[in-house]
Amino acid sequence: MINRRNVLGMFAALIITGCAAPLIEETVSKGLKVDAVSVDVSNLKNGVTGRQFKVPNDKIKADILSALIRETTTSPSGARPVTLVVKLDSFRLVSPGQSVLLGGISTVTGRATVIDSKTKEIIVPETKVLGNGKGYAPGGLLGAIVTKKPAEDYKTTVAGFAADVKLRVFGK
């Protein structure tokens, strides 16, 4: 059951994650070029949770992969080729009930690793990453009214996660 303490803890985690420094120093990050991205969804036992919205894990994987490629392969644009490895742990959309009672934000959690594509040296060891749909659903009747449709919420959460991974790992 979701209670106020859990919700406040989730928001504290979101704030801390949003304020966290990039995992790579800017001088190092500028020298990197993402030339490969992989996504592992094997830990997503229930796929997308929180709403009556079925998305097969293969589609989640393809959508996250596409968004990460779009976000990370254009910048940074250095000379050292690296592979970004992302393992998803959860994908939760805000349910209409949660919107009415408490409000909230849709989130994806996972772990990211950056590996040198040639030498296989680990540049960023596996670290937790959190991304969200960039739109808080307020509580109460207003929350029920402004809650996004499941497909739209899914799409913005995928894009938000990819942008947050890039920001958290590479800093820009």
- Name the pTM for this structure: 0.79
**What whole-number distance in Å separates Cα of residue 124 and Cα of residue 77?**
17
What are the Cα distances from residue 113, in Å, to 9, 106, 128, 169?
26, 23, 9, 9
Boundaries of every domain in the chain: 4-170
- Whether 100 shows a pLDDT value over 90: the answer reads no
What is the 8-class DSSP label of residue 135? Answer: -
Q: What is the mean pLDDT of residues 147-156?
A: 84
pLDDT of residue 170: 87
Query: Rounded to whole angstroms, how far apart are CA atoms 158 and 52?
Result: 17
For all residues of the chain together, what is the average pLDDT? 82
Q: Under CATH, which number does the domain 4-170 receive?
A: 3.30.160
Q: What are the beta bridge partners of residue 36?
A: 83
Q: Which H helix or E strand runs over 65?
A: helix 57-72
- Higher-pLDDT residue of 58 and 52 is 58
Going by pLDDT thresholds of 50, 70 and 90, the confidence category of residue 130 is: very high
